[in-house]
Amino acid sequence: MQLTLTVNGTARTFDGDPAMPLLWYLRDGLALTGAKFGCGTGVCGACTVHIDGSPARACTTPMKSAAGKTVVTIEGLDAAHPVKQAWQEINVPQCGYCQTGQIMSAAALLASTPKPDDEDIDAALRGNICRCGTYQRIRDAVKKAAGVTA
């Protein structure tokens, strides 16, 4: 079965196992390694991408569900995006492995909730684990990107 999708603005055709998670297609198939493998069960958020503008866990999204959809990965999110800029201004990353997922979740939050409060941030980002414990700076960076004071 052949299916098509758009990844970072490029039309793609996939004819492998329709049950394969989008994550492995992005990583092994397209060499887009910004989405990370952390859990494989959708509980850590390291693989977060945008599908039709909404945050999604690529590790639990089978290719058949991505058919016809528009996928944006960290590589496809504008380098000048306020979230990416705020992340750098506040020096959020430690090891950095989870941060691409954190950024994609944060960018999706701001798209739907331009002025989030602490509860909004908790709700949008509680699915993204950071083992280094950078949460305080993540919170600050989201607010900075949103232009709300901490």
Q: Please name which of 101, 139, 98, 93 lies closest in space to residue 120, comparing C-alpha atoms.
A: 139
Cβ 48 to another protein, closest distance in Å?
11
Answer whether 127's CB lies under 8 Å from 43's CB: yes
- Which one among 7, 56, 98, 107 touches another protein, defined by CB under 8 A? 98
Using CB under 8 A, which of 5, 73, 108, 109 touches another protein? 73
Among 1, 4, 28, 117, binds another protein (CB under 8 A): 28
**In contact, 144 and 116? CB cutoff 8 Å:** no
Sheet holding 3-7, edge to edge: 10-14, 3-7, 70-72, 48-51, 54-57
Interface with another protein (CB under 8 A): 16-17, 20-21, 24, 27-29, 31-41, 43-44, 46, 73-75, 79, 84, 87-88, 91-100, 103, 118, 121-122, 125-139
